[in-house]
Structure 1
Amino acid sequence: MSDTIVTTAAEPDGAPRIASLDVLRGIAILGILFMNIDGMGASGLAGARWPLWIGDWTKLDQIVWFTRQVFPDGTARCLLELLFGAGMVILTGRATDRAGGWRAMRAYYWRNIVLFGFGMVHVFGLLWYGDILHMYALCALVVFPLRNLPAKWLIALGLVFATASAVVSMPRIYNIDVENERLADVAEHRAAGQPLSRTERKAVRSNHGWHRSIRQDRFAVAREDRNRTTNFARWQMQEIRTYTDRIPTDWSRVLWWFGEATCTMLIGAGLFKLGILQGQRKRSVYVWMLVMGYLVGGAIRGIGAWQTIQFDDSVSFTWSLREFGRLAMTLGHVGLLSLLLSTVRGSALLKPFAAAGRTALTIYICQTLICLWLLYPPLALGLYVTQGWAALMATAVVIDAVLLIAANIWVRHFTIAPVEWLWRSIAALRPLPFGRVHAPPPRHAPDLAPA
């Protein structure tokens, strides 16, 4: 399959492009909107944990939500993290060849410090608390010193987070399961007029940790809905507070995101070194990735999603394996896309997504501008909490279609997208050429290139 991989022209700052990676990146950045739009058009907390709290929960909403949870949920983010790790290998390898290790490190760190600044503007300027840029920039600083490890070591280290998250989550899920059993016994004994045991009385007095968190979530969602539908000032305050409240009060969640992104980047670097992300392995490798990824990921995520929509406050032990499920499903996607790219029809079908990959950062910012500043805020159309899951996903399809068309038009005329140009110009400490695409020579013109 290696002959299907094309290296396209470099960016104005000299960064090389690989067509197959651009396709993967384009699909990932468009897919990220399907994960973000429920946090823009409704409460992010409700969308993450309590899907029933969004919309009317019609049969169509249920089908759409279940499909989203099993197949795309988290995989767009995972694919971006894999590609970030691959990009590190590409960029630092090129810089090291040209300038030496120390200068390559300095350039790469500065590039990501600038990206971190862009992420902060995204959070506090454009008010998207779900920004991933600043987290990826920080993770890249940690991953960089490990870039020269062998591919298998990178992948092994990357699997540490999935393993650790499963080990940490299992006792908590077990405790929730025990709590639910005790509270069920309490309800049964009270209904029968029987006295409660000492353990049951203790469970009642403890105010039930799992059930208390559900009540707290309901209060938080109601407060968020009020603030985001009142006026601009309260909407702005809510968006900023949603981000800032996590830092001092929920370190476990922050560390979770940091560990997830860091380890997935390591896996991405390892897969790139093995030639897997570029489509350079045998077809059988990608068939195996497709089949096993969808079987393992589909089983873990399907059972977990089914348990979530029982809405009986029970839990599933598959939740502790969610990172393994996310990785497996993403590798299944990579296998499928790589197989398509190895065929003529598949390549033609996926070719438009390369333009989205080349303009990924601009598309990401445009998604925020369209959703958070036009469709859903009280200062504009005010569609917040007016759409169910099916309508939210349909809106994401329309927005992505428009952005995909715009990206393909843009790359016909320019070699770099606006936000990418600004980021790389700051990183290069000089304004880069905007790079107008020159018209190709007429077909009858002689080929003057030397043999």
Structure 2
Amino acid sequence: MNAKSDLLVDRVRGADRIASLDIVRGIAILFILIMNIPWMGGYGFILFDPRYPTWTPADYWATLFIHTFLEGTQRGLLELLFGAGIMIMARRAMTSDGPVEVADLHFRRNIWLCLFGLANAFVLLWYGDILLVYGLAAVFLFPFRKLGPKAQIGLAAIFLATLTLYNASGYREETNRLQKVEQIVAAEAAGKKISEEDKTTLKEHREKIERKTQLPADNAKAKEKIAKADKAHHSTLAAYWNAQLEGWTFLMGFFWVIEAEIVASMLIGMALFQWGIIQGRARQSIYWALLIAGYGIGLAVRGSFWVDTLRFQPGQHWQGIVFDLARLATTLGHLALIHLIVRSALGYRMLRPFEAAGRMPLTVYLFTSFLMMWIVFAPWGFDLFGAWGQAELLAVALIVIAAELVAANLWLKYYENGPMEWLWKSLAYERREPFRKLRGEPGDPAPSPA
């Protein structure tokens, strides 16, 4: 055994793995495709409107279900798990005399993760990459590993409060804009002369209402954007690459907002690990409380928001102010539901196939980017960008998820790691990690669910 293993800086494997964490991670990394695919293969980034190319009842219900029950929560589960992972990896660096190798390993792992994220964005061309921002957040959070869970929750609350204030500021600005429009309309109706600035404000407002109330296929400006997007996605490699770069640049404009949400969720994951909740070791009553409160608050806020939004009528939605809190509540509801299911023998058998995906999440995530962005939707691949409505995109995502689930289980029958996990761990530990299972090796013992 090498020196690093003597210090217990070695990777977690075999019976030391927590099966429930792998199951949660597997579910999250697979089902995140449901949220990503409208942006990968549709006009989400161009139009910010789900009604193109089709808007059938199936599209409506698919959109309502995804945004109410899933949107942001699979990412949320991964963030909670990432926070728990920091605690697991730093298990021998919780005192002042802990081995420095733990910190070295932590920073190497996450610097490499950032580089994988940049490759995902600029080589695999998935502009919605999460690896870069996760790696940066994890680097920032390492010094907070020794805080107690209440302090970690307190810090998370500060970040969440900042996000809520940010959302409230946007709501207030929109309220002021609408009041200004009402004043201009009233002045115009009274026959008063209005300034050129007011005329521009009123024109932009009416165009905004037109875009909202009209189907994109019937709106001239929306059709212009669609035509431009089609040209970008169906011509040269350079045009396709530039289109994805535009999306990445747009998202990076909200970098601090994205990082604040991630840091808050990771801190909560660190606290939940210390309490034994995220790994399934808390009392059953805790999970029932999280399920009822999480879904009761989260689904009520998100559901009412999206029912209103999908009417495509002018107006403000107060729910947007607390949307980050509702996302977190729904995420905790998902976490509780998974653990309640896994606690029964039947439930564990049902969800155990997700363990394999949870043990090779980097491979699954990056392969999905490659499959979608280089084969399914690329102009030199199947060229299916913009071909499907929301319900069809959901069906495609479910087919891909099922295929990846089967592939992950087959792969780990013969290999110790996923290919990207093998590369990542070898780079982080600065040694060649096992790849193939040794002949006659029984493999990792099946860990208990909790």
Q: TM-score, normalised by structure 2?
A: 0.87
Aligned to 1:403: 404
Change (3 A) 1:224 1:211: farther
Change (3 A) 1:101 1:332: same
CA contact (8 A) 2:152 2:271 kept: yes
Change (3 A) 1:99 1:23: farther
Aligned to 2:434: 433
5+ residue gaps, structure 2 = 1-7, 212-220, 443-450
Change (3 A) 1:311 1:222: farther
Aligned to 1:115: 113
Aligned to 1:353: 354
Shift of 1:175: 2.8
CA contact (8 A) 2:45 2:247 kept: no
5+ residue gaps, structure 1 = 1-9, 442-451
Aligned to 1:50: 49
Change (3 A) 1:168 1:438: same
Aligned to 1:92: 90
Q: Does 1:139 align with 2:137?
A: yes
Shift of 1:95: 5.7
Deviations 1:224-269 (A, max 9, x none): 333012232211121123223554xx2xx11111111111100100
Rounded Cα–Cα distance in structure 1 between residues aligned with 2:346 and 2:53: 39
SS in 2 for 1:147: helix
Aligned pairs (5 A) from 1:27-106: 27-46=27-46, 49-52=48-51, 54-94=52-92, 100-106=98-104
Change (3 A) 1:233 1:329: same
Aligned to 2:335: 334
- Further displaced range: 205-214 or 299-308: 205-214
Change (3 A) 1:161 1:226: farther
Deviations 1:31-87 (A, max 9, x none): 11011111111134257x4222x3211111000000000001000000000000000
Rounded Cα–Cα distance in structure 2 between residues aligned with 1:305 and 1:32: 19
Q: Does 1:125 align with 2:138?
A: no
Over the matched positions of the two proteins, sequence identity in percent amounts to 33
Rounded Cα–Cα distance in structure 2 between residues aligned with 1:164 and 1:294: 23
Aligned to 2:425: 424
Shift of 1:363: 0.5
Change (3 A) 1:131 1:208: farther
Aligned to 1:377: 378
Aligned pairs (5 A) from 1:204-223: 204-206=199-201, 218=222, 223=228
Rounded Cα–Cα distance in structure 2 between residues aligned with 1:321 and 1:135: 22
Return the letter of the residue paired with 1:305. W
Deviations 1:8-27 (A, max 9, x none): xx998455521110000000
Aligned to 1:165: 163
Deviations 1:283-341 (A, max 9, x none): 11101111111110011111211222122242201101110010000000111111001
SS in 1 for 2:352: helix
Shift of 1:427: 1.3
CA contact (8 A) 1:139 1:258 kept: yes
Shift of 1:104: 1.6
CA contact (8 A) 2:278 2:335 kept: yes
Aligned pairs (5 A) from 1:258-337: 258-337=259-338
Aligned to 1:195: 191
Change (3 A) 1:239 1:211: farther
CA contact (8 A) 1:42 1:225 kept: no
CA contact (8 A) 2:53 2:387 kept: yes
Q: CA RMSD in A?
A: 2.8
Report how many aligned residue pairs link the two structures.
423
Aligned to 1:17: 17
CA contact (8 A) 1:12 1:434 kept: no
CA contact (8 A) 1:29 1:76 kept: yes
Aligned to 1:255: 256
CA contact (8 A) 2:272 2:278 kept: yes
Deviations 1:155-178 (A, max 9, x none): 121122222111122132133134
Change (3 A) 1:245 1:69: closer
Rounded Cα–Cα distance in structure 1 between residues aligned with 2:261 and 2:314: 26
Change (3 A) 1:255 1:282: same
CA contact (8 A) 2:187 2:193 kept: no
Shift of 1:102: 3.0
Rounded Cα–Cα distance in structure 2 between residues aligned with 1:11 and 1:439: 27
Q: Does 1:242 align with 2:241?
A: no
CA contact (8 A) 2:53 2:386 kept: yes
Deviations 1:186-233 (A, max 9, x none): 55775xx532486x9764344677778897x95766533330122322
Rounded Cα–Cα distance in structure 2 between residues aligned with 1:140 and 1:118: 14
- Further displaced range: 96-105 or 377-386: 96-105
Change (3 A) 1:106 1:202: same
SS in 2 for 1:240: helix
